[in-house]
Chains A and B, each alone.
Chain A
Amino acid sequence: MKAPAFDYVKPASMAEALAYLKQYGAGAQVLAGGQSLMAVLNLGMASPDVLVDITALPGLNEIKVQADSVTIGALVTHAALQASPQVAQHVPLLWQAVPHVAHMAIRNAGTIGGSLALADPAAEYPAVALALNATLTLQGPGGQRQVSAQDFFLGFYSTARAEDELLVAVTFPKVKGGQVMVFDELTRRRGDYALCGLAAAFEVKGSVISTARLAYLSMGDRPMLASSAAAELMGKVPSAATIAAAQAALAQDLSPNGDLHGSAKGKLQWARVLLERSVSHVGKSV
């Protein structure tokens, strides 16, 4: 199918981009890499009045390493994340997630900001951002504001970004000694949308898991924190008994809807499988 008619603007400055967003309101759609938006337009599932192409905006393409954190500009592509030694070293959970995002041709064009701002519940980065409680920076007419990942994802394709704001960057805490990061997902074929995915951040002291933060994708209308399961892991050694207790607790955290991909019960089982794999990985690294 072909995209419906729309206008297209490519602002050269942030002020100009924000002016377009204000002018067109809900009729404007921000275009970054376009790897989800173009598909939706071709399918005739959206008909915006105007696409605001933000790829000419300066300064959104950088990966900045600070003392305790790494700030990634919204226009950094998946391919650039994959090729970044800084991301691999300092934000290994994100780096592990990148190869799971679609295919090379799409990773060459799609951006981290686009993925976070779209907030597809099956996408990898929202879950990674939630697991690490990343900070998202939004630029609006009144300046910048920061929103934690926990407060950013509000529901199905819905975020705390206002219509007149742009997501300009995301800041992840640097990994510290003693932390173990595990990203894994289940797909029918490599590159397909995840049936279930888990971004997990653990801290390990001696042989004991001291903290755990588990963020699931494809298990609800947004990335889902499994705090009851995480509580079962904390202060325990990563044993079979610990894993079983945490798997049982997942039913309190997740209530996925059955759909054509799987039943509700089956989906919960996938989540348990990924939990087991991820905690076993911690067991191997202590």
Chain B
Amino acid sequence: MGPGIAGAQRQPCGEKRMSEIRRQISVQVNAERVERPVLVRQHLVDFLREELDLTGSHLGCEYGVCGACQVMLDGKVVRGCLTLAVRADGKQVQTVEGLSEAGELADLQEAFLNHNALQCGFCSSGMLMTALNIVRHHPDASREEIREHISGNYCRCTGYQAIVTAIESVLVKNRASAVLGASL
């Protein structure tokens, strides 16, 4: 019989064992190179929030369901709570703070403001990562497809209409400028 995850369940959690094991990592976080030892059991968002004071990435469920913790790892959107900080060694992490400063999120942020696409606001930073992924990789997405993409960011609000509209407005604007660019 193979060891499933339950196979490793030998001691009650919370028992103090090896609690301070750390590993040195070197990671590019936004514009900054960070080199320091991290607790091996610490996930990426705790590292960003607790160690680097980057509190834009949020922790909702902390088991991969709500998407509020999303960051870009080597340019790909991932769940920060399902990524150990130690695994970011040698990689590039971009958070909502860095992408805002770089202007990458400007159009989306403006659209979210204009359409009041915030709801309670807790999901916004993670939602923006998904939205950026749509803008970059799915420029022709329909409302239905936008809904499918943001389904990984549903939390406790309902509706998400304004968020879909805000993302759609950026796609429409980008498609119009692409057509304009092609005709010039």
Contact = CB atoms under 8 A, between A and B. Distances in A.
B16 A5 contact: yes
A176 interface: no
B21 interface: yes
Contacts of B18: 5-7, 49
For chain B, which range describes its interface: under 10, 10 to 19, 20 to 34, or 35 or more residues? 35 or more
For chain A, which range describes its interface: under 10, 10 to 19, 20 to 34, or 35 or more residues? 35 or more
B159 interface: no
B12 A26 contact: no
B83 interface: yes
Nearest to B17: A5
A77 B116 CA distance: 36
B56 interface: no
Nearest to B62: A42
Interface stretch (B40-48, B95-103, B165-173, B174-182): B40-48
A7 B8 CA distance: 13
Contacts of A53: 87
A154 B4 CA distance: 11
B36 interface: no
Nearest to B7: A26
Nearest to B6: A157
Contacts, number: 156
Contacts of B94: none
Interface stretch (B27-35, B106-114, B117-125, B149-157): B149-157
Most chain A beta carbons < 10 A, residue from B4, B9, B76, B147 = B4
A189 interface: yes
Given A7-B40, A189-B151, A158 B4 contact: yes
Nearest to B40: A8
Interface of B: 1-21, 23, 40-41, 43, 46, 62-64, 67, 70, 76-79, 81-84, 86-87, 129-130, 133, 147-149, 151-152, 154
Closest 4 CB pairs of A and B: A103-B152, A157-B4, A161-B2, A44-B13
20 contacts: A4-B13, A4-B14, A8-B84, A35-B79, A37-B5, A38-B82, A39-B64, A39-B82, A42-B43, A43-B63, A46-B8, A46-B13, A47-B11, A47-B12, A48-B8, A49-B8, A102-B152, A104-B152, A159-B1, A189-B154
